[in-house]
């Protein structure tokens, strides 16, 4: 039978630009957040994580910002490269100090144009 799926939101950027991907969560008990990158046909790949006692964390070319007041999370990618093209998911866990039972967002498809 026919199935209808939700289309992924898409962000298109030029190579070298900075990218910002946003995520909202609903459970105020969430205390651990992760960003994953998923390329076509592959499993999610860990990018960066942050715990609720922080509001910013930096990695290599990536920064995650957490605003607990409005339950908002963002991933910033500096100098975006074609290899960054993928679907990006945020995930949250609600168990204090733990990371089990991740709740995933719907995802954002990032396309980097050379």
**Interaction site with other proteins (CB under 8 A):** 5-8, 34, 36, 42-46, 49, 89, 91, 97-107
Rounded least distance, CB 55 to other proteins, Å: 20
CB neighbour list of residue 52: distance below 8 Å, 6 or more residues apart: 30, 31, 32, 33, 66, 68
Q: Which is nearer to other proteins, 42 or 70 (CB)?
A: 42
Rounded least distance, CB 73 to other proteins, Å: 14
Could you tell me the two tokens for 99?
């990371």
Rounded least distance, CB 26 to other proteins, Å: 14
What's the rounded Cα separation, in Å, for the pair 33 and 93? 7
Q: Which is nearer to other proteins, 58 or 104 (CB)?
A: 104
Strand, coil or helix: what is 83?
helix
């Amino acid at each position: 039978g026919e199935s209808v799926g939700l289309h992924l939101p898409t962000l298109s950027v030029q190579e070298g630009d900075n990218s910002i991907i946003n995520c909202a969560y609903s459970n105020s008990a969430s205390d651990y957040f992760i960003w994953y990158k998923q390329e076509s046909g592959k499993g999610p790949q860990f990018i960066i994580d942050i715990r609720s006692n922080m509001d910013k964390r930096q990695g290599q070319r990536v920064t995650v910002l957490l605003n607990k007041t409005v339950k908002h999370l963002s991933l910033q990618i500096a100098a975006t490269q074609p290899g960054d093209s993928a679907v990006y998911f945020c995930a949250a866990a609600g168990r204090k100090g733990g990371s089990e039972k991740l709740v995933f967002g719907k995802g954002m498809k990032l396309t980097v144009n050379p």
